[in-house]
A and B are shown apart, each in its own frame.
Chain A
Amino acid sequence: MSDKTIYAIYDDDYVLLESAKHLVEKGVHIRDVFSPFPIHGLDPVIGLPRTRIAIAAFIYGMIGVSLALTGMWFFMIHDWPMNIGGKPNFSLFDNIPTFVPVTFEFGVLCAAHGMAITFMLRNWTLPGMKAKNPYPRSTDDRFVMEIHTHDNEVSEDEITSLINQTHVLEIDVKHS
């Protein structure tokens, strides 16, 4: 079965959101939406599960904290203990108060950078990548819905007529 991509172009985020609700109600599956800014409330409508990137950040942070503590234990307690200003350096536990700042900073460093890298990789946005938005104006003031006939049981004509019921600016059908 050949797949056709239907692009429905809107000029307003609110209109797109309400139209998306209307289409989904009628059983149309919306593959993706391209917009110049995040449209709040759209994710549950088009069935996007919540991102788990925050969990990843937490794990990176914990890795950072453990690395920092292990490192400082090795440098200050194990490898070359020194008595500096009478501060205890016999065990990690005694020395922990002075290790708090660096542990915290390193935890934040790992969490923030780990999350940023994950964000780039999952979005596949890296230097030299080609943009995939179908219309250049979708990063300015156009809001584009992408519907694949392949995803839907409803026929192409029916989808187009459903879209036409909403206040759409333009419908564009592409064969792929």
Chain B
Amino acid sequence: MHREASIREPLVLGNPTYSDITRDVLHTIENKPTKGWKILMTIASIIAVWGVGCILYLLGVGVGTWGLNKTVGWAWDITNFVWWVGIGHAGTLISAVLLLFRQKWRMAINRPAEAMTIFAVFMAGLFPMIHMGRIWMAYWVLPIPNQFGSLWVNFNSPLLWDVFAISTYLSVSLVFWYIGLIPDFATIRDRATRPVQKLMYSLLSFGWSGNAKAWQRFEEVSLVLAGLATPLVFSVHSIVSMDFATSVIPGWHTTIFPPYFVAGAVFSGFAMVQTIMIIVRKVMRLEQYVTIKHIEYMNLVIIVTGSIVGVAYLTELFISYYSGVEYESYAFINRFSGPYWWSYWAMMTCNVVSPHLFWVKKWRTNLTFTFIMSIVVNIGMWFERFVIIVTSIHRDYVPSSWSMFHPTWVDIGIFIGTLGIFSVFYLLFLKYFPVLAFNEVKTILKSSGQQYKNMTDEEFHKLHPVKK
């Protein structure tokens, strides 16, 4: 038996049996939807429908309905894109990187975080596509044989790298997530009593039987996929940052961008996981499995990545001065003292100052405080992208073309709408999919479960007699 040091806090509280774990996680799937879920679903659907309406209006009328102008060609659209991709980073990081490091606390949060990743990347992918204006030509980003003189896409361009990075990331995350879901679907299938439910989960579980060879392959696939997804996570946001870093715009043209964007993505991703999990664990009564310790671990990741982001901001600022390049310096002076000073200082407060409050143990183990902080970090990270994008371009080389960006109702509507669409997907996931990877939680019960932690070997063998 693998035993853990007793000073480590347990990851499964109470004294659940294997079937208790199954029941605790599946009670929402096996029972009728609650009133709260229906209310939330209604609100989310209304916002989602509004968002879809705004998108259709945009596609009908054209990108001119956004507040973009000749100087500010990228604004909320790309801000939202980078923000959503960033949020989509925690899921695969939790499931892949923490798997490689054998972190047991990942078991309780990997499934909801991966779901968040996938839905967030859906939202992210939407923005570059609608930004094209003519979305029905979106397939032109693929190298498809054509009759325009055999004109190919430009593989030297980071924008095209992004197409490959985001689509690979989305599909690999989806596969990773689904393979993990199959055994859990099989459990639901075998417990289902209603015929429609049985049929649905039979289809979803692909006839999984849980025999020894299948589990062996399952573990190998998870491990190799984690090994592949880990560099993938880092590459995706590096490539997103290269959309900016390889251009010659002061404020964008910096080599620090890839690591800085990756840290920022992990930072915002974990914040979003906190926002979601703090509500989900309470509403779905999963406090036993997603413990305060889990929340604290995620807050520690937030401190680390928040500090990296802070160092990056200050390095960027210092180098702009130290480089002696006037344009570069001006871009940064304009950021913190120009007309968009408020967004810069909002970003600095939310991302650089606030995560350090988590050094206080009492605060980082407090749910209300963590929840508020997670929202603050999300806002801060949205402003980070806004600052990078809009303040770098709104005052370019020619002062006569300096301008400001004013979002229109379509800009705002689409952003709010994506929050609604995301929520609809997420609420459906919460109702119909196993929220926790409960079969994986069972594997850590004996090493990290509360009742097993302080058991002596004699007590353990008494409880689990092998011979009659």
Interface set of A (CB-CB < 8 Å, partner B): 12, 14-15, 18-19, 22, 32-40, 42-43, 46, 48, 50-51, 53-54, 57, 61, 71-72, 75-76, 79-80, 82, 84-85, 87, 89, 95, 98-99, 101-102, 104-106, 108-109, 111-113, 115-116, 119-120, 122-133, 136-141, 164-167
Contacts and interface: CB of A to CB of B under 8 A. Distances in A.
Contacts of A125: 182, 205-208, 214
A13 to B, nearest CB: 8
A107 B154 CA distance: 19
B186 interface: yes
A53 B225 CA distance: 11
B228 A112 contact: yes
Contacts of B22: 36, 140-141
B217 A119 contact: yes
A15 B191 contact: no
B168 interface: yes
Interface string B443-468: 10010000000000000000011111
B318 interface: no
Contacts of B218: 38, 119
Contacts of A76: 152, 154-156
B235 A105 contact: yes
B152 A131 contact: no
Contacts of B17: 141
24 contacts: A12-B464, A36-B22, A36-B210, A36-B442, A38-B218, A38-B219, A42-B212, A53-B224, A54-B220, A61-B228, A79-B150, A84-B154, A101-B242, A102-B155, A105-B165, A108-B231, A115-B221, A115-B225, A125-B208, A131-B207, A133-B209, A133-B210, A140-B191, A166-B466
A85 to B, nearest CB: 7
A173 B442 CA distance: 29
Interface residues of B, number: 72
Interface in B196-244: 202-203, 205-221, 223-225, 228-229, 231-232, 235, 239, 242
B175 A164 contact: no
Most buried by A among B1, B209, B219, B220: B209
A138 B203 CA distance: 18
Nearest to B242: A101
Contacts of B220: 51, 53-54
Given A76-B155, A127-B203, A113 B171 contact: yes
B313 interface: no
Given A37-B215, A139-B190, A166 B442 contact: no
B224 A131 contact: no
Contacts of A108: 168, 172, 228-229, 231-232
* Interface residues of B, dominant DSSP: helix
A109 B172 contact: yes
Interface string B231-266: 110010001001000000000000000000000000
Contacts of B175: 112-113, 116
Contacts, number: 221
A94 B150 CA distance: 23
B363 interface: no
A124 B215 contact: no
Interface of B: 1, 17-19, 22, 143, 149-158, 160-161, 164-165, 168, 171-172, 175-176, 179, 182-183, 186-187, 189-191, 202-203, 205-221, 223-225, 228-229, 231-232, 235, 239, 242, 439-440, 442-443, 446, 464-468
Nearest to A117: B175
B442 to A, nearest CB: 5
A133 to B, nearest CB: 4
> Which are the 5 A-B pairs with shortest beta-carbon distances?
A129-B207, A141-B18, A136-B190, A75-B152, A38-B215
Given A80-B150, A109-B172, A133-B211, 15 more contacts: A15-B466, A109-B168, A112-B171, A112-B172, A119-B217, A119-B218, A119-B221, A128-B203, A131-B190, A131-B202, A133-B210, A136-B190, A140-B187, A165-B467, A166-B468
Contacts of B210: 34-36, 133, 138-139
B410 to A, nearest CB: 32
Contacts of A53: 217, 220-221, 224
A170 to B, nearest CB: 13
Contacts of A123: 208, 213-214, 217
A48 B216 contact: yes
A58 to B, nearest CB: 9
B466 A22 contact: yes
Most buried by A among B171, B172, B189, B229: B172
